[in-house]
Structure 1
């Protein structure tokens, strides 16, 4: 279980995460939504130890992330940031192997190679194994990074805006993949999203933030109401049922 206990983060006089208490891990896919500046990515970074909280604490399976050994934490929690670019010119195979570093320190064993092969196969990346990342399309590149995370073989998977720079087809494919990882591989996926309709379609639970605070936390369908979404986005939002699913419509 991931537990945030009264977590606060400030930048100077600005509070970007304000006394937030949450738990994750009880559902397959949890989506964090909210307007720009709501604190979603900051909260994500605090859980992944990319930032240090100014108050409160974050626990992963009972271990405080600020004191847990890095390798130990990395075998439990995998993090994929928005800016998941790498400096070196790597092939898909090289990148996926990086996912095993917390387990083997760079010296791959037969077990490590088995995890790499399974991740490449699961993401359908075998035809691209020898291709350099800068030779791939945006969707293919994002799948390669997800394969790296999958090879890491952690219980918890955190993804910050994995749909960025993808077209509609590849956004749909990505969300279907995350849903499969939760259902077939028993992963606990926490994903930061801007598109609330993707969140409603593929997530079990939606956590909505505004001004650094949690303003809604419930099963996806319960968050997808006009009243809740207007309180989150301070905008005219209507929710309609289309093919049995709630869909949010925006009005200027």
Structure 2
């Protein structure tokens, strides 16, 4: 379980996350939605210890993210940042292998190599495994970064806008694989996503934020409603029920 208790983050006089308390149960997919500037990425960064909270407490599987040693935390949760610039000329295999560092310390064992191969296969990257990242499309590079996160072998996977710069086909592929990671591999997947229909289709739970505050959270069918969407986006958005679940009609 991820427990967030009265967490606040400020930059000067600006509060970007405002006294947020939230529990995310283990297992399944949780999507964090909200307009730009809602505090979504900042909250995820504090959960993953990329940012330090000004007040409050965050635990992951009972581990306080502020005080837990880096090695233990890296074997508990993996994070994909919103921006992933690789300065050196790595291959896909090199990048994915970085995910094993918390386990191998840089000296990969036979088991580590197997984990790298499995992550590459899981995201259908075998044909590009030995290709430099700068010779891949944006979608292929993003899949390689998500494969690295999977290769870390953690129970908790945090992703900040994993669909960045992806076309529809690659977005669907990534979301399907993340859904499968939760269902078949038992991962707890938490991600920031802008497309609320992707969130509705592939998530178990949605967390909605606005202006740094928590607006609402719960199962998809209780969250994807005109009332909640109005509170989050200040728009009147019709919601239709399809065979796969609710869908927001931005053009209605």
- Do they superpose with TM above 0.5? yes
Contact 2:201 2:244 in 1 (8 A): no
* Residue 250 (structure 1) shift: 2.2
Match in the other structure for 1:137: 137
Question: What RMSD in Å do the two structures reach over aligned CA positions?
Answer: 1.2
Is contact 1:149–1:157 with CA below 8 Å preserved after alignment?
yes
Query: Which residue in the other structure is 1:58 paired with?
Result: 58
Q: Does 1:209 align with 2:203?
A: no
Q: Which residues of 2 match residues 34-73 of structure 1 at below 5 A?
A: 34-73=34-73
Equivalent residue number for residue 33 of structure 1: 33
Deviation at 1:110, TM superposition (A): 1.4
Aligned to 2:106, the other structure's residue is in SS state coil
Aligned residues: 252
Output the CA distance in 2 between the equivalents of 1:12 and 1:186: 40
The residue number in structure 2 matching 1:118 is: 118
Aligned to 1:20: 20
Cα distance between partner residues in 2 of 1:78 and 1:26: 15
Instruction: Determine helix, strand or coil for the equivalent of 1:237.
Output: coil
Map of 2:234 onto structure 1: 234
Ranges in structure 1 where 5+ consecutive residues have no aligned partner: none
Normalising by the residue count of structure 1, what TM-score does the alignment of the two structures yield? 0.97
Match of 2:9 in 1: 9
Q: Is the 8 A contact 1:8 1:55 kept in 2?
A: yes
With structure 2 as the length reference, what TM-score do the two structures score? 0.97
Residue deviations 1:197-243 (CA, integer Å, cap 9, x gap): 00000000000001111111010111111111011100121111233
What secondary structure is seen at the aligned counterpart in 2 of 1:66? coil
Which runs of 5 or more residues in structure 2 are unaligned?
none
| CA deviation after TM superposition for structure 1 residue 81, in Å | 0.5
Is 1:87 the counterpart of 2:66? The answer is no
Matched residue of 2:31: which SS?
Answer: strand
Which of structure 1's runs of 4+ aligned residues deviate more than 3 A?
none
